[in-house]
Amino acid sequence: MNFTETATGAETPIAPQLASIRSLSSLVTFLLSFGALRNWLKLLVFGSGVESIWRLLLYLYYTIPEYFCVTANFPEDEAYDWMMVWLLKHPAWSKAGQVEISTRSFGLEEMVSVTVPGEETDDALSMLSSRNIAYLPAGKRTFSTWYHGQYMLITRLQEQAGRRGAREEILRISILARSHRVLNELVLQAKKQYMAALQEKISIWVSDSRNNWDCVTSRPKRSLKSIILDPGVAELLVDDARDFLSSRRWYAARGIPFRRGYLLVCIHFFPIAGELELDIYIIQLSRSGMDDAALSTLVSDLPEKCIALIEDVDAAFTTNLNRDEPSPAAASPEDADPDDPAHARSSGTTGCPSLSGLLNALDGIAAQEGRLLYATTNKYEALDPALSRPGRMDIHVEFKRGSRYQAERLFFAFYLPPGEGCGE
């Protein structure tokens, strides 16, 4: 019997181990004698190699851009409009093979874009529509271009936003660079071009179903002389607003919330916004889906210097906007119909703001500071004193029947040629 001696002097049998190795070698030799099995093993090795290379390429594809590319996503907000207008003016899109034809203005009254050749000279088209036709990068497609010597990829994506299935568009830009320098230059250039197009214009913003502010249009500024009021009225509103906007330190030193409210009875104040050079944010209390939470979110998201406008605040609620006067829904709770919309709204069971929600949004803890609030009404006596009190509505201006001065100026404005008197 064969034995081998170990380091400790013990003897271990090796014949069984050698026999098992020979048996395994014989089995492998026997299996490899089949040609089909050899081919299958070759395919297995080749497939494993291809899969490994593919996984390596995928890893490099997703890893290398993190080190050598700067990627920025622009959701549908103000910066998105800057970039889209910049793309509209980029000559590459007029030569692209796949484009999207659009008349979207991106907050500009007249779209600064690459128009279809011949559109500007066609009188028939210019009479039918004032909107230009523009080329946009096609959705879900990636385009490449160069910016300041840097290679850039541009993609328009759509993602679901919110529970209601609304689709939000996202502009994705990837720049082959190691730093944010080129991206900063691109964004600043796009912003400057957009702001240059907004010179002498006022932007008008409204809220969407996701409670975000969207710029819907821009209008040319109107002269303060375009509204004919008694002497000193319009100037009083403008001077008071300017004095407020320059008094932030005074308010902060005394711990007073930096807010200002104006209650106007029957006035079109757009020229005042142009004189102050402030954009208008329209708060639609009767919008579908508007409740106390949505109203608070919108007011808190207002920019620091802007005009927040609530039109016809007296008509925004089904019930009376005065807690001292009983509403039809609250006059007789026993006789109230639970299915009546007025009763549901007064009880806060529907998606609409309440008076207390409006008051908290205007000067609550989360209320924005630095904004000017303008509320218009046609029924001054219907407003609750808590809404019209100083601190919420600091200045009240009521416009009654036109005076002799206003009638004279209106006559001059409509019947005298420009520059010939005009009531001066």
Query: What are the helix (H) ranges across 165-232?
Result: 181-197
Residue type, 220: P
Confidence of residue 129 (pLDDT cuts 50, 70, 90): low
Strands 201-207 and 213-220: antiparallel
Question: Is residue 287 very low, low, confident or very high in pLDDT (cuts 50, 70, 90)?
Answer: confident
Give whole-number Cα distances, 297 to 338, 362, 368, 379, in Å: 29, 11, 10, 27
On the question of pLDDT at 132 being above 80, the answer is no
Q: Which residue has the higher pLDDT, 152 or 127?
A: 152
For the chain, the average pLDDT equals 77
Helical ranges in 320-389 per DSSP H: 328-331, 341-346, 355-363, 385-388
On whether the pTM is more than 0.75, the answer is no
**How far apart are the C-alpha atoms of 180 and 69, rounded to whole Å?**
9
Task: Determine the pLDDT at residue 282.
Answer: 92
pLDDT, one tens digit per residue, over 54-95 is 988 888 777 776 778 888 899 888 888 888 888 888 777 767
pLDDT band at 113 (very low <50, low <70, confident <90, very high): very low
CA dist 353 and 287 (Å) reads: 10
Determine what percent of the chain is predicted with pLDDT higher than 90. 10
User: What residue ranges define each of the domains in the chain, with the CATH number in brackets?
Assistant: 70-116+130-199 (no CATH), 214-317+352-408 (3.40.50.300)
Question: In 128-161, which positions are buried (b, 16+ CB within 10 angstroms) versus exposed (e)?
Answer: eeeebebbbbbeeeebebebeebebbbbbeeeeb
Residue 281 clears pLDDT 90, i.e. is over it: yes
**Confidence (pLDDT) at 240:** 92
| Dihedral of alpha carbons 386, 392, 395, 397, sign | negative
Q: Taking a C-beta distance cutoff of 8 angstroms, is the pair 314, 379 a contact?
A: yes
* Strand pairing class (280-282; 99-102): unpaired
| Residue in 306, 283, 312 with CA at minimum distance from that of residue 295 | 283
DSSP 8-class letter at 253: H
CA dist 410 and 407 (Å) reads: 5
Tokens of 235: 């100037």
**Which whole-number Å values give the CA distances from 256 to 71, 242, 260, 363, 415, in the listed order?**
43, 18, 11, 11, 49
Assess whether pLDDT exceeds 80 at residue 318: no
Least confident of 38-42, 153-157, 188-192, 386-390: 38-42
* Number of residues assigned to the chain: 424
Residue 103 has pLDDT above 80, yes or no: no
Give me 227's structure tokens: 């509204």
Q: Which of 27-41, 259-273, 293-307 has the highest mean pLDDT?
A: 293-307
Residue 153 has pLDDT above 70, yes or no: yes
Mean per-residue pLDDT for 151-156? 88
Bigger pLDDT: 339 vs 212: 212
347, 280, 357: which is closest to 319 by C-alpha?
A: 347
Whether pLDDT at 10 is above 80? no
Please count the other Cβ atoms lying within 10 Å of the Cβ belonging to residue 52: 10
How many other β-carbons are positioned within 10 Å of the β-carbon of residue 32? 11
Torsion angle in degrees (nearest 10) through CA of 372, 377, 382, 388: 20
